[in-house]
Chains A and B, each alone.
Chain A
Amino acid sequence: MRLVLVKTVLAALCISTLLVTAVFAEDFSLTIPLPLTGKQAKFGEMMKRSYEMAAEEINAKGGIKKKRLLLSFEDSGAKPETARAIVEKLIDTKKQPIIVGEYTSACAKAVAAVAEERKTPYLIVASADDDITRQNYKYVFRQNQVNAHYADSIMDFLQKIVKPKTVAILFESSAFGTSGAEAMEKDAQKIGMKVLLKEKYEAGSVDFKPLLSKVKAAQPDVIYMVSYVMDASLLMKQIKELRIDAKLFAGGAAGFAIPEFIDNAKDAAEYAITATLWTPQLKYPGAKEYADKYKKKYGDFPSYHGASAYSALFVMKDALERAKDWSTDGIRTAMKATNLTTAFGPVKFQDKEGYQNQNFADTYVLQVIKEEHETIWPERYASKKYIYPIPTWRNRKG
């Protein structure tokens, strides 16, 4: 009985491989390092789903140069030495000519150093720390905007519409939070906005009220928060509870830009704005399709992390198709010449402002309007008109 079962399974396997090989002569296998366990696992998971969706679409359209793109994932647990181990293995034993992936800046730094030493192109998808592409690395490419520019659109919005005089900056204690807060401080000085308060907090804190009551007493025009994940929604909930009436509540991407922010903070999230690198409402080819498909499959819209991961495989496909051979240097040259519009937006790797191989993408401003993230700035991308001034807490319903 058991034998029969095994035989049928084997036969089925054979047939299925035959079917596949009938279409594809060869496989191109790509292993992606990601955090699948630990605190960052949520983002790893979102990116994994997006990579899978992209690979499916690429294979449905004939693969990369008639080769089937075969994805696999390895969990780095957001530990740099594990991320490094994975990448060393990919370069050495699997002879993978290009590396895509990782999420945290610490891991991306470890991977970038290995990639550069081993002269293998590495495409960074969502690690924001400025330093990574300021090392004169030749083989490291970054598709997402650097942290220093995350708030560009927000600054534009503030300057043109809100015209605030003072700001309070709250940020989480991490590389992302620190560099985001510092970029904001610099930008604020540029437009003559006074920084009343710049405070750090430990990610995952339960109670922000002591910090927030201090903010309340300082009465800033704008509260700018650089927070990962759920800290963002806790901050807004507790701001609502303390009835802190700033002219505007602004978030520096990450935690404010994920759908869980609204799901958890509910009405407290209303009117908050956030920087983001991507929104499902953008008119880039495939952006809406990707977002809808993701939502259908997993129940929620993806944030820019997912979109960047999704598009990264198309950037890779484009480079591989243009490369004269699939040697690491061939791919690097092709990557450097990338000029592609993806669902994530235009991708072009430039050397400027001290960065190398950096894609300077636009950033956008989202506002939570009727419990939805709407694109409000730059105005040419707007899906809804911004709401400003915002009502005080006391005058809001509920």
Chain B
Amino acid sequence: MKRILPPVILVLLALLPLLGLSSYWMHIFILVIMWAVIGMAWNLLGGYCGQVSFGHAAFFGVGAYTAGILYNKAGLSGWWGLPLSIVAVTASALVIGFICLRLRGPFFALGTLAMGVILRVTTENLRSLTEGDLGIMIRERTWTEKTWYFYIILSIAASTYFVVRKVIESKLGYYFVAIREDQDAAESLGINTTFYKNIALCLSAVITGIAGAFYTNYMGYIDPKVVFALHDISIVTIMVVMVGGVATFWGPAVGAVIMVLLAELIRSIPKLGAAHHTLFGILLIVIIIFLPNGIVGDLPKLRKIFRLGRTS
């Protein structure tokens, strides 16, 4: 049962566009899947390896800008950004890792947060390369229809899921969890923690960067404040994973559904105006108080609550 679930879900998702969904719903699904990808990437580093990053916008932004600069300066299609962002993002991940991975716990979190801001301001200031605050606009988007974008992000998501699963079920995953549980103990067992933390960081960063490059091609416009956003990218990423379920395979997907779909539904409640933030904020607070390991992580607890509700 558990084994066939992923392919079944994949097939179901792949059939979605055939339903003739409106462009609006396709947009929402594309965003959900994109956030699921970013969430899975973050989960690899934060959930399994225990290195909570507050700066994933740095990788998202570098990926997005790789695509944007290739289009804007080299005259290539923005889609080249997908493969080429791997190089740029790995390089930046190695630098950030070199600086931040020696820090632990909340200090690592703050270090990565700072790197995200540093990259944003640097991008704003490097006018000749990045167009600075004016941003980069892709004049002709490849397709008007969303079907192809949907399949591209879906295949990115499927590969990400596959990679994360393979990594976590291998020896590598075992080392990651060992580092999360007790870094000193892992060290004394002869695990080269710095090396494995770097691997987790690079993998996580590369996937996030690919999502960023996809974003450029899909949205057709990027500027530093959008793609290097601390709140709208870095922190939303953390929330996607935490709300869904840390260190679970399906948590990020569930989290993405909540953070994008539910947020969108709440936002669209007529007459609510600006107050939708309050409602959503309260929802987040409630989730985390009652399900501190996220929805998927605390599934047994959820089940228990519902069962109790039925008997009483």
Residues in chain A within 8 A of chain B (CB atoms): 36-37, 41, 72-75, 79-82, 84-85, 88-89, 91-93, 106, 109-110, 113, 117-118, 129, 131, 135, 173-175, 177-179, 200, 202
Q: Is B268 positioned at the interface, with any CB of A under 8 Å from its CB? A: yes
Distance in angstroms from B195 CB to nearest chain A CB is 37
Knowing A92-B22, A174-B225, say if A84 contacts B276 (CB, 8 Å): no
Option from B144, B219, B267, B276 in Cβ contact (under 8 Å) with A80: B219
Q: Is B264 positioned at the interface, with any CB of A under 8 Å from its CB? A: yes
Distance in angstroms from A251 CB to nearest chain B CB is 19
Option from A75, A93, A117, A174 in Cβ contact (under 8 Å) with B133: A174
Task: Return chain A residues, CB-CB under 8 Å to B22.
Answer: 88, 92-93
Supply 10 further A-B pairs (C-beta < 8 A) apart from A92-B25, A110-B219, A110-B221: A41-B274, A80-B226, A81-B219, A82-B267, A85-B28, A91-B24, A106-B135, A113-B141, A173-B124, A202-B121
Between A and B, 12 residue pairs with Cβ closer than 8 Å are: A37-B274, A37-B277, A81-B31, A89-B24, A92-B24, A93-B24, A106-B221, A106-B226, A113-B141, A173-B132, A175-B134, A178-B132
Task: Return chain B residues, CB-CB under 8 Å to A84.
Answer: 27, 219
Knowing A80-B226, A88-B24, A179-B134, say if A113 contacts B270 (CB, 8 Å): no
Tier of interface size on chain B: 20 to 34
Distance of A129 Cα from B221 Cα, bound (Å): 13
**Minimum CB distance partner of B31 in chain A:** A81
CB-based contact B144/A117 at 8 Å: yes
Distance of A203 Cα from B208 Cα, bound (Å): 28
CB-based contact B226/A75 at 8 Å: no
Q: Is B2 positioned at the interface, with any CB of A under 8 Å from its CB? A: no
Knowing A72-B270, A75-B276, say if A106 contacts B223 (CB, 8 Å): yes
Distance in angstroms from A80 CB to nearest chain B CB is 6
Task: Return chain A residues, CB-CB under 8 Å to B139.
Answer: 135
Q: Is B17 positioned at the interface, with any CB of A under 8 Å from its CB? A: no
Task: Return chain A residues, CB-CB under 8 Å to B235.
Answer: none
**Interface members, chain B 16-66 (any A CB < 8 Å):** 22-25, 27-28, 31
Distance of A135 Cα from B140 Cα, bound (Å): 9
Task: Return chain B residues, CB-CB under 8 Å to A113.
Answer: 141, 220-221
Task: Return chain B residues, CB-CB under 8 Å to A175.
Answer: 133-135, 223
Closest 3 A-B residue pairs measured CB to CB? A92-B22, A89-B24, A88-B24
Distance of A177 Cα from B132 Cα, bound (Å): 11
Most buried by B among A41, A73, A178: A178
CB-based contact B28/A106 at 8 Å: no
CB-based contact B133/A88 at 8 Å: no
Task: Return chain A residues, CB-CB under 8 Å to B137.
Answer: 109, 131, 135
Task: Return chain A residues, CB-CB under 8 Å to B220.
Answer: 109-110, 113
Distance of A118 Cα from B26 Cα, bound (Å): 14
Distance in angstroms from B67 CB to nearest chain A CB is 16
Task: Return chain B residues, CB-CB under 8 Å to A73.
Answer: 273
Task: Return chain B residues, CB-CB under 8 Å to A93.
Answer: 22, 24
Distance of A174 Cα from B139 Cα, bound (Å): 20
CB-based contact B276/A85 at 8 Å: no
**Minimum CB distance partner of A182 in chain B:** B134
Distance in angstroms from B164 CB to nearest chain A CB is 24
**Interface members, chain B 193-227 (any A CB < 8 Å):** 219-221, 223, 225-226
**Minimum CB distance partner of A36 in chain B:** B274
CB-based contact A75/B24 at 8 Å: no
Distance in angstroms from A66 CB to nearest chain B CB is 25
Distance of A179 Cα from B135 Cα, bound (Å): 11
Knowing A80-B226, A106-B135, A177-B133, say if A88 contacts B27 (CB, 8 Å): yes
Distance of A179 Cα from B23 Cα, bound (Å): 33
Q: Is B232 positioned at the interface, with any CB of A under 8 Å from its CB? A: yes
Map CB proximity to A onto B266-309 as digits: 1 under 8 Å, 0 otherwise: 01101001101100000000000000000000000000000000
**Minimum CB distance partner of B232 in chain A:** A79
Distance of A304 Cα from B276 Cα, bound (Å): 28
Task: Return chain B residues, CB-CB under 8 Å to A109.
Answer: 135, 137, 220-221
Task: Return chain B residues, CB-CB under 8 Å to A177.
Answer: 133
Task: Return chain A residues, CB-CB under 8 Å to B226.
Answer: 79-80, 106
CB-based contact A106/B225 at 8 Å: yes
Distance of A91 Cα from B146 Cα, bound (Å): 14
Map CB proximity to A onto B255-271 as digits: 1 under 8 Å, 0 otherwise: 00000000010011010
Distance of A129 Cα from B277 Cα, bound (Å): 29
Option from B23, B121, B132, B268 in Cβ contact (under 8 Å) with A88: B23
Distance of A82 Cα from B219 Cα, bound (Å): 11
Task: Return chain B residues, CB-CB under 8 Å to A79.
Answer: 226, 232
